[in-house]
Amino acid sequence: MVKRTRSRIVKFTGTVALCCAVIVLLTFPTFLGQPNAYVQVFSIVDFSPLKDHDALSVPRNTRPFFSLEKHTYTSDGLLIVNPNGPHPIFELMRDAKASWNAKLSRASKTLEEAITEYRRRYKRAPPLGFDKWWEYVVKYDVQLPDEYDEIYHDLEPYWGLDPADLAKSVEELATWDDIFTVEKTSSNSGLVIVNATVPESNRVLRDRIEAIIDLTKDFGSDLPPMRIQLSPRDDPRMHTDWRIRDMALSAARQGTTIPQSRLPPITEGGWIQACPPNSPARLNPPVLPPLDGSNPMLSNMTVPKSFIVSHRTAMDPCYHPEILISHGQFLSHRQGPLPHHTLVPLFSHCGTLLHHDIRPPIPYGWTSGNDSEALGDVPWSEKVDERLDWRGSPTGMYASPETLWMHAHRQRLVKLTSTIEGNTSVLCVPLDASSPVGEPLQLRMARVNPAWMDVAFSGKPLACEENAGTCKLMEEMFEFRRVQGRKEEGRYKFILDVDGNGWSGRFKRLVTSNALILKASVYPEWCVYTSRIAEWVHYVPIQVTYADLYDVVAFFRNHDEAAAKIASAGKEWSQRFWRKEDMSAYLYRLLLEYARVMSVDRESMSYSG
């Protein structure tokens, strides 16, 4: 049975190769006037595995007899494919690697260099205690000591607000549900939980907060006094009003503050209130899809082809409004809730670009990477399954007759990759970057999905309304398989990671497993989708709509060495850049910055060395 299946797949890929060759010939009819043109074109378009070819190397024995054209890079974080250009992934990998190497080479090596770079980036002095933080960085060999822009993104708006108002907001948070109040009260103490609106019996949530506090054990006594509020929930809680954020940032740039009494009142709700007036989400708001699961807006997104250049930018719903109708984080609230009436400094496990939650590093799901068996970590050469692997529960939003759960990110993924109806368009895969990618092919889902995808829900339906029959409907719509063990997971070369109810706690383990990780998310984290990691070097970014999913899988199934390099680089990055010491260094600097911005005398909380 296995041999018969493989035979069918070989026939399928051979058909794809022939079709690709014909397409390139039709796209470039001038080839027909060149000697041996058909042989040359056919040789560069092949969906069979390329075991002996380095997809990142300079093209072999080639001098193109046509001029390749450039792709278009857009301000919203995407590359728009030009069929007359090379396959974009060659270009994306090359440029990302060069950018990452340059970043490593220019990293500060002394305290003086770090201070100079800090002032250049943020136009102010570092926070008080920066020298002690630098000692920690040096002691534990923390890499990229300048790359903490996510802290700036999280805290910069608060520089434009009155610290007295911020303190009142923090006190108000203490009465909210599911809040832990954490304090440092004296110079010799560390951070401790002093209050919680979570039942004492709920150890899961308490353990999450204690794990964060535990990251401060080596430097807690060096922190200034502070009081912070932490949410243990998976999801963010602070929806932003763009006008308020813009006013705060403007005041911060001018070195002034705005009292809360001068902030505009909140009169309109919705996710798009977090977006600039001239953004696509404001100019052309997305229409909520019907309850039946059909989504006309997403079905028209396959042309033109595109790939992610900047993952953080590409996950911004203001510039990609389709995200608002394709992810459970947003669909759970339909058009969206009312924004908060001010900016409130709440520490949360994650946030989207429409929220202003402060994001500390989260130890949940962290692994040292030393236990290969537990990670499913086997050598690339022993990973025998080239289908894309994903298993998970149907989380992401609550399923009921009144909710849009069929459009949530996990449900769409399983439906897309398991259907045998219709077609999908896939770009041809040239051998190297010297050849045009051409127009995409229309391939039958009945052939592609069984050959390329191994995606399914595991366990049983959950987060669904049993009495209304939604759980039964979910069970009828989707196949539920047994939970996948680490050893079984280790057989796959390609693994997809997607969000659940919030950010995914799997990424650390997966990126350490020596597999090529494809990642779709709307939650920028402290070290993922930021300046501390490089897409196309350590992992492969995927759009939330999955519009690029089949093109990415097709490319790496046929460029095995390129896939292996990213998998290996991802594992090395995890072990060098995502240690507990790296999380502690990030939290250390975040807390120093937080203590300063919350102080009524911010100048005295700045480092003067």
pLDDT digit string, tens, across residues 6-28:
444 444 444 444 445 433 333 33
Tell me how far the alpha carbon of residue 82 is from its chain's centroid: 25
The DSSP secondary structure of 382-432, one letter per residue, reads G--EEEEEEEE-S-SS-B-TTS-GGGSHHHHHHHHHH--SSEEEE---BSS
203 in a structural domain: no
Q: Which of 399, 423, 405 is nearest to 471 (CA)?
A: 399
pLDDT confidence tier of residue 186, bands split at 50, 70 and 90: confident
pLDDT confidence tier of residue 37, bands split at 50, 70 and 90: very low
353 in a structural domain: no
Per DSSP, the chain holds a count of helices (H) and strands (E) of 22, 14
Between the CA of residue 446 and those of 357, 417, 450, 492, 555, what are the distances in Å? Answer: 43, 10, 7, 21, 19
Kindly report each contact of residues 147-153 with a partner whose C-beta sits within 8 Å and lies 24 or more positions away, as own/partner. Answer: 147/103, 147/107, 147/530, 147/531, 147/532, 148/586, 148/589, 149/121, 149/530, 149/531, 150/359, 150/524, 150/526, 150/530, 150/531, 151/586, 151/589, 151/590, 151/593, 152/121, 152/122
Task: State residue 56's pLDDT score.
Answer: 25
User: How many C-beta neighbours within 10 Å does residue 50 have?
Assistant: 18
**By the 8 A CB rule, do 424 and 34 touch?**
no
Q: Which of 382, 259, 332 is nearest to 501 (CA)?
A: 332
pLDDT confidence tier of residue 3, bands split at 50, 70 and 90: very low
Task: State residue 15's pLDDT score.
Answer: 41
Rounded Cα gap, residues 601 and 605, in angstroms:
7
Lowest mean pLDDT among 277-286, 290-299, 536-545: 290-299
User: How many C-beta neighbours within 10 Å does residue 581 have?
Assistant: 16
pLDDT tens-digit profile of 389-445? 999 999 999 999 999 999 999 999 999 999 999 999 999 999 999 999 999 999 999
330 in a structural domain: no
33 in a structural domain: yes
Q: Which of 43, 79, 365, 28 is nearest to 211 (CA)?
A: 365
Task: State residue 374's pLDDT score.
Answer: 56
Q: How many domains does the chain have?
A: 2
Give residue 42's domain range: 1-48
Rounded Cα gap, residues 102 and 519, in angstroms:
24
pLDDT at 541 over 70: yes
Instruction: Give buried/exposed letters for 495-516 (b at 16+ CB in 10 A, else e).
Output: bbbbbbbbbbbbbbbbbbbbbb
The DSSP secondary structure of 214-231, one letter per residue, reads HTTTTTGGGSPPEEEEE-
Between the CA of residue 248 and those of 132, 244, 603, what are the distances in Å? Answer: 30, 6, 18
Q: What CATH number has the domain bearing residue 493? A: 3.40.50
64 in a structural domain: no
pLDDT at 575 over 80: yes
575 in a structural domain: yes
pLDDT confidence tier of residue 187, bands split at 50, 70 and 90: confident
Between 171 and 21, whose confidence is greater? 171
Task: State residue 63's pLDDT score.
Answer: 41
Task: State residue 296's pLDDT score.
Answer: 54
422 in a structural domain: yes
380 in a structural domain: yes
Lowest mean pLDDT among 31-40, 159-168, 387-396: 31-40
pLDDT at 459 over 90: yes
Amino acid at position 106, single letter: R
**pLDDT (average), residues 522-528:** 90
pLDDT at 62 over 80: no
Q: Which of 74, 106, 68, 67 is nearest to 90 (CA)?
A: 68
